[in-house]
């Protein structure tokens, strides 16, 4: 199953369909989530982080542990994410990919202009090195589940942008899987144009909105 991304605004019928598909996707279990639309964005400024929902995250954790991935416990969670964060920052220095920490989750922001050819889901050959570095770290530090989220600007139709965001998320996920990252750890989601991080009224803002985000969440044993 591949899951979730953000459907923000919109009163059109298609938006309702996308929200419904996201809810259904979150109920599925097992690895290989189906790429779908994100749930509605919360009010307020955008922030990096997991957007597929808690149910999708828990399904991934169960699938990963079922495939033999160990769980983190207690204080080891923060330390594990500290080490993984430091390694990612080291490997991605100068690549154009940024790393954001929010609690014990890490989000990698991959600009669309670096990662893809224009208006397509074809990965740029020049970006392969950065993705190889990400895959290497994710394989070594495997006690995390991964959401791959595609985002676009608002140019073009909403339907086109939604489909493009899904294809781009799927392309990055497929690259990681081919490099040995366990498929049951990964879910994908297409947010389309619904989660902008900048204004779509100028070229710079639109470029910032075209991106793929990888959010890593620790596989931690539930206590209490």
pLDDT in tens, 70-122: 999 988 999 999 999 999 999 999 999 999 999 999 999 999 999 999 999 99
Helix 128-140 to helix 158-178 angle, to the nearest 10 degrees?
A: 60
Give the model's confidence band at 48: pLDDT under 50 very low, under 70 low, under 90 confident, else very high.
confident
User: Please, is 67 exposed, middle or buried when counting C-beta atoms within 10 Å of its C-beta (0-12, 13-18, 19+)?
Assistant: middle
Confidence of residue 22 (pLDDT cuts 50, 70, 90): very low
Assess contact for 136 and 95: CB atoms under 8 A: no
- Quote the pLDDT of residue 19: 37
Mean pLDDT of 40-62: 79
pLDDT in tens, 126-168: 999 999 999 999 999 999 999 999 999 999 999 999 999 999 9
- Under the banding of pLDDT at 50, 70 and 90, the label for residue 16 is very low
Q: Which residue has the higher pLDDT, 224 or 205?
A: 205
Q: Which two tokens stand for residue 11?
A: 């009163």
- pLDDT above 80: residue 45: no
| Residue 15 to residue 9: CA distance in whole angstroms | 8
CB-based burial label for 224 (10 Å; 0-12, 13-18, 19+): exposed
Average pLDDT over residues 7-36: 40
Given a cut of 50, whether residue 3 has pLDDT beyond it is no
Segment 163-198, tens digit of pLDDT: 999 999 999 999 999 999 999 999 999 999 999 999
Q: Report which secondary-structure segment, H or E, holds 74.
A: none
pLDDT of residue 20: 34
**Per-residue confidence band for 223, with pLDDT thresholds at 50, 70 and 90:** low
3-state secondary structure (DSSP) of residue 76: helix
Lowest mean pLDDT among 14-28, 58-72, 110-124: 14-28
Residue 48 sits at φ, ψ, to 5 deg, of -65, 150
What would the CATH number be for the domain defined by 13-218?
3.30.1330.60
């Amino acid at each position: 199953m591949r899951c979730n991304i953000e459907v923000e605004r919109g009163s059109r019928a298609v938006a309702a369909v996308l929200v419904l598909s996201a809810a259904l996707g979150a109920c599925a279990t097992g690895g290989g989530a189906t790429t779908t639309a994100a749930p509605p964005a919360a009010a307020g400024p955008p922030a990096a982080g997991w957007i597929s929902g808690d149910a999708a995250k828990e399904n991934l954790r169960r699938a990963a542990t079922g495939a033999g991935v160990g769980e983190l416990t207690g204080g080891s969670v923060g330390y594990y994410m500290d080490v993984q964060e430091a390694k990612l920052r080291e490997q991605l220095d100068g690549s154009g990919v940024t790393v954001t920490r929010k609690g014990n989750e890490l989000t990698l922001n991959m600009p669309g202009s670096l990662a893809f050819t224009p208006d397509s889901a074809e990965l740029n050959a020049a970006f392969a090195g950065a993705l190889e570095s990400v895959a290497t770290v994710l394989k070594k530090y495997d006690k995390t589940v991964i959401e791959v989220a595609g985002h676009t600007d608002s140019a073009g139709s909403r339907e086109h942008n939604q489909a493009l965001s899904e294809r781009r998320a799927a392309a990055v996920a497929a690259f990681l899987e081919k490099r040995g990252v366990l498929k049951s750890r990964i879910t994908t989601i297409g947010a389309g144009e619904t989660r902008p991080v900048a204004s779509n009224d100028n070229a710079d803002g639109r470029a910032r909105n075209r991106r793929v985000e990888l959010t890593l969440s620790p596989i931690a044993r539930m206590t209490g």
